[in-house]
Amino acid sequence: MKIGYYPGCSLLGSSRDFGESVVAVARALEVELVDVPDWNCCGASSAHAMDHLLSVALPASVLASAARAGLTEVVAPCASCFNRLASARHAIQKDPALRKQVEQVLDVPAGSLATLAEKVRILNVIDLLQRCSDRIAAKVTQPFARAVACYYGCLLVRPGEVVGADRVEDPVSMDVLVEKAGGKPVAWSFKTECCGAALSIPNTPLVGKLGARIVEDAAARQAEAIVVACPMCHSNLDMRRGAIDDARGKKSGLPVLFITQVVGLALGLPPSELGLERHFVPVNLSRPAAPVA
């Protein structure tokens, strides 16, 4: 299977572990990832917060580049990139006035973005793994036999009509994948609560406060790890664990894994290929797994 790949800025930098595990798992599942040529940043939260036209034009430029390269499907593992690309595609289809402005900004022929948005579909990493779920189940050599809390956050599930999420309030797509990898997802209450996203730098204590509620509930449900599919969720729960511990008034060693790392471990890939040593909260998998009922 061949598919377009939009790594986005964070998978080459602060979420290199996510990028490494996506590439390693794709290879193991015989998925060929083809980079979108000359891709640019999607604008993320900042364009969204400050400049609506740019927040559509920047991802639209990525869609145009993918279409020129003949890619009909692009996987964007970063949840923020995925959401911006999918939102831009949606906006281009629903709002002709905005589409015309974006065409001017990108300096492309009038009307060209409408056909392009039809052509290029955007997938997130859960969509990609779901397609390979039979192959995952067949190739599991070391079942990830742990109780985990699947944390979806915001951008993979909302707005539902833009991202096509399975269930907006109580998604289960990642839980099903964890089961395929041999794990046991716990039922918990913070699956789709916000981690504070881009407030990580301008308001770190607030991100600590929001993350504290998430870690608190996952720990109370006896999860041995939190599983995510978003670089911002990961850095706010892993890299910002100090702020979370400060907010809770106690330390927690609950590790946060990307879904691709969980699947990779189950497929028998070495932890170093999955970027596990780059986490701030150590992923200590040497101790025996708790019995899974």
Tell whether residue 109 is a contact of other proteins (CB under 8 A).
Answer: no
Q: Which is nearer to other proteins, 178 or 237 (CB)?
A: 237
Q: Nearest-5° angle of CA 287, CA 22, CA 152?
A: 75
Binding window for other proteins (CB under 8 A); candidates: 53-61, 111-119, 172-180, 254-262? 53-61
In degrees and rounded to multiples of 5, residue 292 shows phi and psi of: -100, 125
Q: Which is nearer to other proteins, 107 or 134 (CB)?
A: 107
Q: Which is nearer to other proteins, 49 or 290 (CB)?
A: 49
Q: Which of residues 58-77 bind other proteins (CB under 8 A)?
A: 58, 61
Beta bridge partners of 3: 33
Q: Which of 1, 32, 53, 119 binds other proteins (CB under 8 A)?
A: 53
Tell whether residue 263 is a contact of other proteins (CB under 8 A).
Answer: no
Binding window for other proteins (CB under 8 A); candidates: 122-130, 251-259, 260-268, 277-285? 277-285
Q: Which is nearer to other proteins, 59 or 185 (CB)?
A: 59
Tell whether residue 194 is a contact of other proteins (CB under 8 A).
Answer: yes
Are 155 and 83 spatial neighbours (Cβ–Cβ below 8 Å)?
yes
Are 153 and 194 spatial neighbours (Cβ–Cβ below 8 Å)?
yes
Helices (H), the chain: 16-28, 44-50, 52-68, 79-94, 96-106, 112-119, 125-131, 133-139, 160-163, 173-180, 204-220, 231-234, 241-248, 259-266
Q: How far apart are the first and last CA of the chain?
A: 35
**Rounded-to-integer distance, Cα 38 and Cα 213, Å:** 40
Q: Which residues would be at the binding site for other proteins (CB under 8 A)?
A: 9-10, 12-17, 38-41, 43-55, 57-58, 61, 95, 97, 101, 104-107, 154-155, 158-160, 168, 192-194, 196-199, 201-204, 206, 210, 239, 277-280
